[in-house]
Amino acid sequence: MPRWLQNHLDKEKACDVVLQTPYGITRTSFVALHPDWKYGNKNKLVRANAQHYRVQADETNTSIGEAIRQWFGIRKNQDFERIDVDPTIHPDGHFILIPTALTMRDAKRRQTLEKVNSPLSFHHDYQSRFWKRQIEACRKASADGLSWAGAQIKRVVTDHRNADTQNVREADLLRTAGALSVLGVDLSLYLVKGYDCPKSQFSFSGYPTYPCPVEIKKL
């Protein structure tokens, strides 16, 4: 654990752990702890004598390594020998754990984990590699399905270009929901307060489903 993180835990005793996944960050129930402290009954910090800084397992006793295995789609019959991470502290106080490489037991090479910038962004200025790989996977799975999805999205885009956009509500973009589901994006119920589709989910390239609220915006 880097010295600056130890210094942070010397002051704070504990901090929540947020895990970087292929989709982006996700909250966890893991906690980074100072050696002199642990969580006891009723989730209260109590004195400990752990002898080392550590990430405490969550209430299901799942290790942080197994959480990384799940999010990065690592086969269960492969045992970890080493996990390289790049930790950072968010201004809000939580600890972001970014896995960067894996070494499996009996493996000849270390596996580098690519960190994609803005992995869920796909627009005229930037198309993430994560999205591009997902589209290619959809094409291989069903070229006809991908073609249909593209035609549906194009139809809505064409309508918006030809209409008086001042009279078009952003919710009209939900007409693309069926096409987006083919691409791995399931939009949830559209609400009038808070996030538009707060319980939406992304399911890309065989990775676990990633819950992420979606805000619908008309340009």
Farthest-apart Cα atoms in the chain, separation? 68
Q: State how far the Cα of 110 lies from the Cα of 13, in Å rounded to an integer.
A: 33
Token digits for 128?
């993430």
Tracing tokens 């210094």 back to the chain, one arrives at: 7
Number of other residues whose CB lies within 10 A of the CB of residue 61: 7
- Return the bridge partners of 95, or none: 17, 89
141 to 40, 133, 135, 162, 183: CA distances (angstroms):
49, 12, 10, 33, 11
Question: Along the 219 residues of the chain, how does pLDDT read in single tens digits?
Answer: 778 888 888 898 988 899 999 999 998 888 889 999 888 777 788 888 888 888 887 666 678 888 999 999 888 888 888 999 988 888 777 889 999 999 988 877 889 998 888 999 998 899 999 999 999 999 999 999 999 999 999 999 998 888 777 788 889 999 999 999 999 999 999 999 999 999 999 999 889 999 999 999 876
Find the distance separating the first CA and the last CA of the chain, reported in whole Å. 44
Positive or negative, the CA dihedral 147, 151, 152, 157 is: positive
